[in-house]
């Protein structure tokens, strides 16, 4: 997977966590994942369709989710399954939404779908066409993982324009 697809996710994750938690996120892991994805905690999956297609999973432990939610609420919250799911989904929304905004600025056009909690034990495999990149981030509340699996479906607008001129 090309770096131009990954960099917006790194930038967006850093910006979102800096905003929410008032501290930069540190990259602790950046690896290609060719095996079946196995979640580390509670995971929210967001599908992307358009010039780029694929899915992004945001994954964190319930304990980290409760810490993030408590930080945002400004008080200690009691852990519950619903609180954890809601927190993970909204974090996924914010990180991935900001990422696709940056990709859109690069000329890619696509649609983002609402997050779904990914509870499969086995998860989704990468394929030859859709390699997955695992991005691990250390935040003040704990480790948060992004698993990004995307591929180009169409060239971006500017490239399509250039090819038309060359034709």
Partner 1 sequence: MPQFAALQRKDNKSVRYLVVDDSVFARKNLIKMIQTFGGEVAGEAGDGLTAIAEFNRTKPDIVLMDITMPQMEGIEAVERIVRQHSDARIVMVSSVGYQENILAALQKGAKHFVQKPVKAEVLYEILRYVLSDDPAAAGAPTVLAGEHA
The dihedrals phi and psi of 10, each to the nearest 5 degrees, come to -65, -45
140 belongs to the binding site for partner 1 (CB under 8 A): no
Which residues have C-beta within 8 Å of that of residue 122, sequence separation ≥ 6? 36, 38
163 belongs to the binding site for partner 1 (CB under 8 A): no
Burial (0-12, 13-18, 19+ Cβ within 10 Å), 105? exposed
Coil, helix or strand for 60?
strand
Stretch that binds partner 1, among 101-109, 129-137, 145-153, 158-166 (CB under 8 A): 101-109
Name which position in 10, 45, 96, 148 contacts partner 1 (CB under 8 A): 96
Name which position in 5, 60, 94, 146 contacts partner 1 (CB under 8 A): 94
Nearest Cα to Cα of residue 112 among 100, 104, 124, 103: 100
Which segments of the chain does DSSP mark as H helices, in order? 3-21, 62-73, 81-105, 157-166
Q: Binding string to partner 1 for residues 2 to 31, with x set by CB under 8 A, is what?
A: --------------x--xx-----------
Closer to partner 1 at the Cβ: 114 or 161?
114
Instruction: Report residue 1 as tokens.
Output: 């997977």
CB of 114 to partner 1, least distance (A): 5
Burial (0-12, 13-18, 19+ Cβ within 10 Å), 119? exposed
Closer to partner 1 at the Cβ: 16 or 132?
16
Closer to partner 1 at the Cβ: 117 or 131?
117
Name which position in 25, 60, 64, 69 contacts partner 1 (CB under 8 A): 69
Name which position in 1, 72, 124, 153 contacts partner 1 (CB under 8 A): 72
Nearest Cα to Cα of residue 85 among 139, 124, 39: 39
**What is the contact surface with partner 1 in residues (CB under 8 A)?**
16, 19-20, 69, 72-74, 82-83, 86-87, 89-90, 93-98, 100-101, 104-105, 109, 112-114
């Amino acid at each position: 997977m090309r770096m131009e697809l990954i960099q917006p996710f790194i930038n967006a994750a850093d910006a979102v966590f800096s905003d929410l938690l008032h501290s930069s996120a540190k990259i602790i892991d950046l690896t290609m994942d060719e095996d079946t994805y196995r979640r580390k905690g509670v995971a929210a999956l967001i599908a992307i369709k358009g010039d780029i297609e694929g899915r992004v999973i945001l994954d964190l432990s319930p304990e980290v989710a409760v810490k993030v939610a408590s930080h945002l609420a400004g008080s200690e919250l009691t852990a519950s399954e619903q609180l954890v799911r809601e927190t993970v989904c909204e974090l996924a929304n914010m990180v991935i939404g900001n990422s696709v905004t940056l990709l859109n600025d690069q000329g890619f056009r696509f649609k983002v779908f609402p997050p779904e909690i990914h509870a499969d034990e086995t998860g989704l495999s990468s394929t030859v066409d859709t390699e997955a990149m695992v991005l691990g981030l250390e935040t003040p509340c704990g480790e948060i993982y992004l698993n990004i699996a995307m591929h180009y479906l169409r060239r971006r607008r500017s490239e399509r324009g250039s090819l038309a001129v060359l034709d």
